[in-house]
Chains A and B, each alone.
With several copies, the nearest count.
Chain A
Amino acid sequence: MDSIMQFIIDNIEMLYILVFAVFLGMEVISKVPTVLHTPLMSGANAISGVVVIGAIILIRNADPGNYIILIIGMLGIALATVNVIGGFAVTDRMLQMFKKKKK
């Protein structure tokens, strides 16, 4: 417990950032019209694919001979990339219907 308290005190600025990020995440969404729930969920989902960064770091750090890690890492990248690319593309398609029609 002490170590966690210490961790917090050591990373007080990080904590500020986290708290603000939580607020921002909430604020940004707070007044979305019902019709956008699904596209927004989809867009947010694509962003959650940011975990791909972790997989990249994992591989870049890995021993080039350690195939298990490399394969798992590549799998991770591939999965997360599906999430990212697929996510943005699907969102884009959903949003097609919001295109203004010419009057």
Chain B
Amino acid sequence: MEKELIDFLYLICIILFIVGLKRLSHPDSAKKGNMIAGIGMGLAIVITMFYPMENESNNYAWIFGGLIIGGTIGYIAAKKIKMTKMPEMVSLFNGLGGACSMLIAAVEFYNLPEGTPMMSTQVLTIIFALFVGSIAFTGSIVAWGKLDGFLRDSLVLPAPQIINLGMLIVVLGLSAYIMFLPEMNFTLVLVLLGLSMVYGVTFVTPIGGGDMPVVISLLNSFTGIAAAGAGLIYGNQVMIVGGIIVGAAGTILTVLMCNAMNRSLFNVVIGGFSGSGKSSGSGREEVVKEASHGDTAIQLKYSNRVLIVPGYGLAVAQAQHVCHDLEKALENEGVDVKYAIHPVAGRMPGHMNVLLAEADVPYPKLLELEEANEQMPNTDMVLVIGANDVVNPSAKNDPGSPIYGMPILDVELAGTVIVLKRSMRPGYAGIQNPLFFGEKTKMLFGDAKDSLSKLKTEVGNA
């Protein structure tokens, strides 16, 4: 086929990528978007088989071999992995993509015709692809390890900032040196490759486990850029444009993720991801997991049964109206929402009744303790809003606790528990609550009214 025709077909692939990404960014169309992008990729691979070459030895057997092996492994891995392990998987996949760029760059360096001037765009391009691909490769592997747990967070480098800066200078210096040489020195290239891979490791290692999603997104954009670099080597449009688009999208996504965590891009890129105390504990200590408004909202929206446990904090925040609004928004989405009223929630008998009546929550939506506890196992999500003592499992488990013997709402029987409060401070009884460190629990810190209205907005958006 003519190269121009191929390029025209590649344009279609690119359009499919763009449309796919676009659709991926809306919940309703995301699944389709993913498929569209996949079709684009398939088309690109097929087209490439017909790409006109100087030296068409083709070697289709090798190609199909690679495709089949990779495809099988990828598919099985994706299907077998547990839902909770998906981010790790993405990170690993991403590393493999980076590795491919790296390999291509290395081979192309090796393939460079005798006497190619080193100081050329071509060499620059190859070095770029090599460098970025290597970082994406090893960085992703480290991120994977951290998320999966086989690499410990506590493995800390001394003065990571300085090490990273040093590594960067060395790698860039070596690259320049290679280009200034009169002719190719493949050994040096291999050294460069090695150093780049090490840099990938030192880049990610200092970063706390809680920030890994951001890092993965960043490394993903690196992979995209590396792919674009590899594309430049061949002047291949779909690689260049596809890679750049992923690079740009990944960068923006990284920024968005930082924003969602209330961190700045600067803090992330320069500040070396100095893990925020709260989210990155050191494995053995009790760790509090923080929830995000977005994820909570989507989880709520796609639940079947939700139980709201209001407490004194709901009253303090005067969040009863917003709470009712959220409840109605969820009901609109087909979620069954009820309230579990603990007899001593709040600070006076019937405190919660007063509040919820004010917000016009219909009486049949209120469940009493026993009823609520019966329904707990069939409940997908519990929203604990400014309650504390009334959901404290110590009352059941810890005979030494001052509240031992008080009946509580057994929220841990439900699928997921989200606790809305401002801090880790205790409630009326003045005691710590083990629920907050529970397997199923996530904390959504902030004033209850704020958090609820954000949740409501996100439920509307999602």
Contacts and interface: CB of A to CB of B under 8 A. Distances in A.
Q: Would A and B touch once assembled, by the CB under 8 A criterion?
A: yes
Given A78-B66, A81-B71, A35 B295 contact: yes
A31 B20 CA distance: 15
Given A28-B18, A45-B220, A48-B94, A89 B253 contact: no
Contact of A38 (B87, B124, B233, B234): B87
B406 to A, nearest CB: 36
Contacts of B24: 32, 36, 39-40, 43-44, 91
A47 B17 CA distance: 7
Q: For the complex, would chain B's binding face be called helix, strand, loop or mixed by DSSP majority?
A: helix
Which of A8, A12, A25, A94 has the largest count of B CB atoms less than 10 A from its CB?
A25
Contacts of A14: 240
Contacts of B329: none
B38 A52 contact: no
B44 interface: yes
A73 B256 contact: no
Interface residues of A, number: 90
A66 B263 CA distance: 50
Interface residues of B, number: 124
B11 A15 contact: yes
Contacts of B198: none
B200 interface: no
B45 interface: yes
A55 B252 contact: no
Contacts of A46: 34, 37-38, 41, 93
Given A42-B90, A73-B107, A89 B79 contact: yes
Contact of B79 (A30, A61, A93): A93
B96 A64 contact: no
B401 to A, nearest CB: 37
A72 B334 contact: no
Contacts of A10: 4
B21 A63 contact: no
A26 B63 contact: no
A48 B63 contact: no
Interface string A1-25: 0011001111010111111011111
Contact of B249 (A18, A26, A91): A26
B103 A43 contact: no
Nearest to B224: A48
B78 interface: yes
Interface in B9-32: 11, 14-15, 17-18, 20-22, 24-28, 30-31
Interface in A40-60: 40-60
Interface in B206-262: 213, 216-217, 220-221, 223-224, 226-227, 230-231, 233-234, 236-253, 256-257, 260
Q: What 5 A-B pairs come out closest when comparing CB atoms?
A: A34-B294, A81-B70, A25-B248, A77-B66, A86-B74
Interface of B: 2, 4-5, 7-8, 11, 14-15, 17-18, 20-22, 24-28, 30-31, 33-35, 37-38, 40-41, 44-45, 48-49, 51, 53-59, 62-63, 65-67, 69-71, 73-75, 77-79, 81, 83, 86-87, 89-90, 93-94, 96-97, 99-101, 103-104, 106-108, 110-111, 119-121, 124, 133, 213, 216-217, 220-221, 223-224, 226-227, 230-231, 233-234, 236-253, 256-257, 260, 292-295, 297-298, 302, 304, 334, 458, 461-462
22 contacts: A15-B11, A26-B248, A33-B27, A34-B256, A37-B256, A37-B257, A37-B294, A50-B227, A51-B100, A51-B243, A54-B101, A59-B59, A73-B62, A77-B67, A81-B71, A82-B77, A83-B74, A83-B97, A83-B223, A85-B75, A89-B75, A102-B334
